[in-house]
Amino acid sequence: MSRRHTSKHHPRHLWRALGSALATAVIATTGLTGAAAAQQGVQDIDLEHEWQLLTYRSDSGPKLDSVPAGIGATLLLFGGEDAWGDAACSSYQTSYDVEAQNLFIDPPQIDYVDCDPASREFDSVFYDLLDKVASYNLTGSVLVVKDDLGDPLMVLTRATIDDDPTVARWSLTRIGGADGSVEPVIDGLKPWMEFLPGGSLVGATGCGSLIGKYATNQGTMDITDVHYRLGSSCTEAAHAQAQETIDSLTEIAGFDVLPAGLRLKDAADVTRLAFSPYLDLEQRIWTPTVIFDGAGNVLREGQTLSTSAIQLQAQTADGRTICRPYTAENIRAGLALNILFKSFQGDPCKAPKKSGKVDRSAVEKDYVQALKATASHALRGTELEFKDVDGNTLILLEPQADLVGPTWQVQWLGRDKQKVTDLPPTATFTENGLVSGDTGVMRPDSGFVNAFLAEFSTPAATRLEITDIDAGRYCAKKKRAKTEACQQEKRFLELLAEADGYIAREQDLKLLRGTDVIMQLVPQHAVNAAG
């Protein structure tokens, strides 16, 4: 395949005007439908989106780095031949060739503006990578471009983010001047802003706090009534940067919410403040509460989802469906999120034999399909949202409560939900991997309740292993072993050893064995308060 060296520039508003109708129009004008279109270049049509850079190769190694905070880059492919976009402190236009899985991008014409050294260095790397592109893979909302050896160069997403600044708390990373110049936030300062539903703005400049009001309308933004306090102990440079931030707020006229972050722009469309989203997800396990079909209709909600979960780590994800654990990879940068399933552990859900029973296989299918369709995410307060490529909400999730900390009191045991005696067993999980408590057996000889001690681990999200359980020997004697309390102790300890999963919520803790809930516990402090 030969490379072209001509370039036709199309104003960017053309893309926004045509939107997603491009694919339909191309098929219609060529007269291709169905399999014929697939055989004659439907891949070209699939590529015609505005792609946002997520990760890129910053050196010769195989590892891809996330886009630096506050820096974004785009690649817009148009009409099967023209391309343009933005980098950290430049814009460009070029042309491209695509055939099957081969993709070549011609050397671009670049328009630079003044910026900081880090942004200039990023632009140099980005344009060097564009020149090396030779092939691609397209999976859902993710585009992976590769070099001539088939090694990944960049990962991009076409996820659409709602024009909604409330989707995250924002960390200020770069400040722009009216002349287009850019400077990074001073090291050590952590300025942030949060746009609250209802029109209030709160934040910190790194040298004091601020409050204000804002209003948005189709990409425009008006910030008013800004009140702030600058600390007297700040350095001269920090004070000056904080004042520049405040002054910039009064000149904001528009905004963009992109996968890479939030940009606040002045009336001349110049970026004045650039933010990266602050989404603290990795320390929590998330439980879905509602699943939607992408059109706003509820598919699942309530108790059928309470034993499903997901945990997101740096580049991995794991969790469980209503029936079984799973592992996955995740591509996450800024607001973009893609979940790529690797494997399930255990047998698939089975359809119910009796009518009226929950069809666990259908619940699992809806949950997994929603995860696979996820292209971005948002965090409002403590509620996490997974969204599809068009910005429609697919899943609402809430954080699980901490397993470690509370003293949990048994409410019932076994699949038959056997009620416990007036002296219920308890369990407390500690950070050093030990679980201890009482078995619910009173020792008349000492007046103490029989105690137990064991080790536990949580090897993956919602997974639980309890081993080396050691309890007092009071119930070892045959006469005592048959008493109600000792029979309960025996069952309690056996179920602890059999547990392989858990779901922790503020109101209760469920221990699981496969797909079955085998024990329910409640926080002891809540029981005491109710009593």
Q: Is residue 293 over pLDDT 50?
A: yes
Inside any domain, residue 4? no
- In 10 A of CB 180, how many CB atoms? 14
Last residue of a domain, one of 255, 278, 301: 278
Residue 142 and residue 119 share a domain:
yes
Residue 430 and residue 378 share a domain:
no
CA 310, 311, 312, 317 torsion-angle sign: negative
How far apart are the C-alpha atoms of 12 and 30, rounded to whole Å? Answer: 24
Residue 443 and residue 367 share a domain:
no
Question: Tell me, what's the pLDDT at 354?
Answer: 80
Q: Are 122 and 68 in contact (CB under 8 A)?
A: yes
Residue 262 and residue 130 share a domain:
no
Strand-pairing partners, residue 145, are: 136, 154
Residue 411 and residue 362 share a domain:
no
Question: Could you identify the residue written with the tokens 């369709």?
Answer: 373
How far apart are the C-alpha atoms of 281 and 268, rounded to whole Å? Answer: 36
Last residue of a domain, one of 106, 124, 157: 157
Check residues 28 and 356 and name the one with the higher pLDDT: 356
Token pair in block for residue 151: 């090694």
Inside any domain, residue 3? no
Residue 117 and residue 42 share a domain:
yes
Residue 383 and residue 323 share a domain:
yes
How far apart are the C-alpha atoms of 131 and 379, rounded to whole Å? Answer: 36
Region 514-530: mean pLDDT is: 84
In percent, the amount of the chain with pLDDT more than 70 equals 90
pLDDT in tens, 440-451: 998 877 778 899
Residue 455 and residue 413 share a domain:
yes
pLDDT in tens, 249-287: 999 999 988 887 898 999 998 889 999 898 888 878 999
Q: Which helix (H) or strand (E) holds 337?
A: strand 336-344
Question: Tell me, what's the pLDDT at 41?
Answer: 37
Amino acid present at 521: L
Q: Is residue 42 over pLDDT 90?
A: no
Query: Of 278, 284, 257, 261, nearest to 203 (Cα)?
Result: 278
Ranges of beta strands (E only) in 158-251 are 169-176, 182-184, 192-196, 200-204, 209-217, 220-228
Q: Are 171 and 275 in contact (CB under 8 A)?
A: yes
Inside any domain, residue 192? yes
How far apart are the C-alpha atoms of 133 and 125, rounded to whole Å? Answer: 13
Inside any domain, residue 8? no
Q: Which residues contact 18 (CB under 8 A, 6 or more apart)?
A: 25
In percent, the amount of the chain with pLDDT more than 90 equals 52
How many domains, in total, are found in the chain? 4
Q: What is the CATH number of the domain that holds 173?
A: 2.40.128.270
Question: Tell me, what's the pLDDT at 417?
Answer: 93
Token pair in block for residue 106: 């011609």
Question: Tell me, what's the pLDDT at 509?
Answer: 93
| Strands 82-86 vs 192-196: parallel, antiparallel or unpaired | unpaired
Residue 122 and residue 19 share a domain:
yes
Residue 29 and residue 82 share a domain:
yes
pLDDT in tens, 318-372: 988 988 889 998 888 788 888 988 999 888 888 887 877 888 899 999 999 999 9
Domain that holds residue 336: 286-399
pTM of the model: 0.76
Last residue of a domain, one of 124, 157, 190: 157
Inside any domain, residue 376? yes
Inside any domain, residue 1? no
Q: Is residue 9 over pLDDT 80?
A: no
- DSSP assignment string, 405-473: SSEEEEEEETTTTEEP-SS--EEEE-TTSEEEEEEEEEETTTTEEEEEEEEEE--STTB-EEEEEEE-S
Buried b (16+ CB within 10 A) or exposed e, 20-46: eeeeeebbeeeebeeeebeeebbbbbe
Inside any domain, residue 7? no
Residue 90 and residue 146 share a domain:
yes
Residue 153 and residue 28 share a domain:
yes
Phi, psi of 411 (to 5 degrees): -100, -40
Q: What is the DSSP letter of 207?
A: S
Question: Tell me, what's the pLDDT at 28?
Answer: 31
Phi, psi of 446 (to 5 degrees): -120, -15
- DSSP assignment string, 58-101: -SSSSPPEEPPTT---EEEEETTTEEEEE-SSEEEEEEEEEETT
Inside any domain, residue 63? yes
